[in-house]
Structure 1
Amino acid sequence: MTSHPLQIIKQLCVSSVALGAWLLASSAVADSSELPKGHFLLPVEGNMVGQVYTVTATEEDTLLDIARAHNVGYEEIRMANPDTSLWVPGEGTEVTIPGQYILPDETRSGIVINVAELRLYYYPEVAEGETPRVETYPIGIGRDAYNTPLGITETTMRLENPAWYPPESIRREAAERGEPAPAVVPPGADNPLGEYAILLDIPGYLIHGTNQPDGIGMRASRGCIRMHPEDIESVFWRVPVGTQVNIIDSPIKVGWGEGGKRYIQAFTATDEQVFGMETLLNVVGLIEKHDGIGASSANYEQVSEILERANGQIVPIS
């Protein structure tokens, strides 16, 4: 999604009121229990945060309602509850919340976006004496033929209540359907950028809100990174211009918890590749290198099964 240069220029001012509110909210905290949902102190040991837990659905709940309330996206909630109805889980149904995360094996700085996981990690700067933290949010990314670009970039500008200027490709497709697209969509309920947008140093790509939150946790955009409205609002004023953004595609993550316990998490690769023997050997090699106890330290058959399922669940390695 792109914004017109004039619109960009008009929206350079940052709200001092909102900035002051963030400064007040960013004071030191004692432990993770005092942090907002999806915010965690970085672990002293290992590379995992959060926990898996269950909640009970009410008669009015959809699975997507529950997912949004618990910082989870569409694919995450669906894969964690494969036998539960998406639209009518039913009163009293126990719903699994996959609220545990293996931190990406990347420098813990700025923003890290793992497109395979459909999740964003933000490592805010902390004051001297504060414990480093991480925030993580579900995202929507580019669909087939509009893959979100990978690589290291940075944030360049923040836009509040942005106007959206549909690119020529969208206007052309709409015209072919007999639904001519407007030259500009002003701020409001019909604006697909939502109320906040953070421009990246990749022409035409943004991290922004959405007017269709049910699509968070799906590959449904034209390459931009979408966030729930409340999530983009929560980070908007706190992500400085010039923040590094590292966009990766890591469908396999290996985790280590307290006491050296080992875990694997595998997602469907964005290019739909099948994990082969080379991938299996690489994963097992990583585990054994970490353990330092020789070639018998990993269960090849179990690792192979986890990679084959690729359902996003964090599985302990026996």
Structure 2
Amino acid sequence: MSSRHNILFLLLIFVVGSANGQSFPLPPDGVDVVGEVRTLEARHEDTLLSLGREHGVGFEEMRRANPGVDTWLPGEGTGIVIPNRFILPDAKREGIVINLAEMRLYYYPGDYSDKAGTVETYPISVGRMDWSTPLGVSRITERTENPHWIPPQSIREERARQGRPLPEVVPPGPDNPLGRHRIRLDIPGGAYLIHGTNEPRGIGMRVTHGCIRMFPEDVESLFHRVPRGTRVNIVNQPVKAGWSEDGLLVEIHPVLPDDAENGFDAAEPPTLEEAVLAVATALERGDGRIDHQRLTRSVQEADGIPEVISRHPAAAREGRESLVGPLSALD
């Protein structure tokens, strides 16, 4: 990419914005990273949750990016990291891509949209281990505004055991867990949805019964723009690796335990071997030498923030044609 194109691309990152989630210019071939990490000072009334919602970041993303900061009382003047830099998932850049590991949805509007040439990203909540969200490619089959909710028998039984019984049908309104917008997927074996919520505090956590839950304003934005038939690809990539003008980066997310009752505190980093495999795949698309200590540190921290792991970040970014054997570059 020429220097002129580099400048234009960086300018667009700061110009293009969205009131819902984050919107960025779709990077050119060979570039996989969008956005930037920013730091701001908390106001007296701020919480990590309110700042996350304001800047399109989920609860766990905010918590991991700000270790040691009180979730409910960060304190006026406290520096807060807003982790708004993302490596795009290793998936076809079409329709909707959902990465369960980072609890984030990516939307590629496509040529039919007035936002063609961009990528949007939103924080989401996903299924607990005992109600896991299935992987694979599906399509949007239905969109419903102000939906009724018919709780599955399994959920009604669970709520009854908790002493919180549900009616057979929950009408539209403030008590409806689906919120005001429901997008149905053609996943067999259950009613899997992308929907809003009447409990936005849970966005960015693993708390659903298998559905994809979004902030009300985010799902409303998508609802009016994603047609039936839109491709939806659900992946699980706790390790992402990709190229930017800085070189090769990795983005590491914790792997949640099989036992959902342990909660997020029991989440563990992925193995170094898993990280190496992701990096090796990225090295098939570019050449460079990797700082193994940086990679190891990124795996151990698993804070979800992209980190440069190239030894010489600026090297070999223009006019690459030869490929370096991926494992030999990891030294």
TM-score (normalizing by structure 2): 0.81
Determine the structure 2 residue equivalent to 1:39: 23
Q: Note if contact 2:254-2:270 (Cα within 8 Å) is conserved in structure 1.
A: no
Tell me how far 1:180 sits from its aligned partner.
2.7
- Segments of structure 1 that go 5 or more residues without pairing to the other structure are 1-29
Partner AA of 2:24 in structure 1 = F
Instruction: Give the counterpart of 2:93 among 88, 97, 108.
Output: 108
Q: Note if contact 1:113-1:247 (Cα within 8 Å) is conserved in structure 2.
A: yes
Which secondary structure state, in structure 2, belongs to the residue aligned with residue 155 of structure 1?
Answer: strand
Tell me how far 1:116 sits from its aligned partner.
0.2
What CA distance in whole angstroms lies between the structure 2 residues aligned with 1:130 and 1:217?
25
Determine the structure 2 residue equivalent to 1:11: none
What CA distance in whole angstroms lies between the structure 2 residues aligned with 1:204 and 1:131?
30
1:120 has 2:102 as partner: no
Q: Note if contact 2:17-2:23 (Cα within 8 Å) is conserved in structure 1.
A: yes
Partner AA of 2:286 in structure 1 = D
Determine the structure 2 residue equivalent to 1:69: 54
Instruction: Give the counterpart of 1:282 among 255, 277, 282.
Output: 277
Which secondary structure state, in structure 1, belongs to the residue aligned with residue 285 of structure 2?
Answer: helix
What CA distance in whole angstroms lies between the structure 1 residues aligned with 2:301 and 2:78?
25
What CA distance in whole angstroms lies between the structure 2 residues aligned with 1:130 and 1:119?
20
Determine the structure 2 residue equivalent to 1:302: 294
Determine the structure 2 residue equivalent to 1:269: 255
Call closer, same or farther: CA 1:111–1:51 in 2, change over 3 Å.
same
Partner AA of 1:267 in structure 2 = H
Tell me how far 1:94 sits from its aligned partner.
1.6
Partner AA of 1:301 in structure 2 = Q
**Superposed counterparts of 1:15-164, under 5 Å:** 31-32=12-13, 33-37=15-19, 38-44=22-28, 46-126=31-111, 132-164=117-149
- Segments of structure 2 that go 5 or more residues without pairing to the other structure are 1-10, 258-266, 312-331
Which secondary structure state, in structure 2, belongs to the residue aligned with residue 152 of structure 1?
Answer: strand
Partner AA of 1:236 in structure 2 = F
Q: Note if contact 2:44-2:76 (Cα within 8 Å) is conserved in structure 1.
A: yes
**Superposed counterparts of 1:127-276, under 5 Å:** 132-202=117-187, 203-258=190-245, 261-270=247-256, 275-276=270-271
Tell me how far 1:165 sits from its aligned partner.
1.0
What CA distance in whole angstroms lies between the structure 1 residues aligned with 2:89 and 2:210?
21
Tell me how far 1:273 sits from its aligned partner.
7.0
Q: Note if contact 1:287-1:298 (Cα within 8 Å) is conserved in structure 2.
A: no
Tell me how far 1:148 sits from its aligned partner.
0.6
User: Quick one: higher RCO (CA 8 Å, sep 6+), 1 or 2?
Assistant: 1
Tell me how far 1:266 sits from its aligned partner.
0.6
CA deviations on 1:28-81 (whole Å, 9 max, x unpaired) are xx9441431501111235111111112221111111000000000001111111
Partner AA of 2:182 in structure 1 = A
CA deviations on 1:150-186 (whole Å, 9 max, x unpaired) are 0000100001000111111122223234433211111
CA deviations on 1:210-237 (whole Å, 9 max, x unpaired) are 0000100000000000000000001101
Determine the structure 2 residue equivalent to 1:3: none
Which secondary structure state, in structure 1, belongs to the residue aligned with residue 63 of structure 2?
Answer: helix
Tell me how far 1:144 sits from its aligned partner.
2.1
Tell me how far 1:128 sits from its aligned partner.
9.4
Q: Note if contact 1:115-1:270 (Cα within 8 Å) is conserved in structure 2.
A: no
RMSD after superposition: 2.1
Which secondary structure state, in structure 2, belongs to the residue aligned with residue 82 of structure 1?
Answer: coil
Tell me how far 1:291 sits from its aligned partner.
3.4
1:291 has 2:273 as partner: no
What CA distance in whole angstroms lies between the structure 2 residues aligned with 1:299 and 1:268?
21
Determine the structure 2 residue equivalent to 1:315: 307
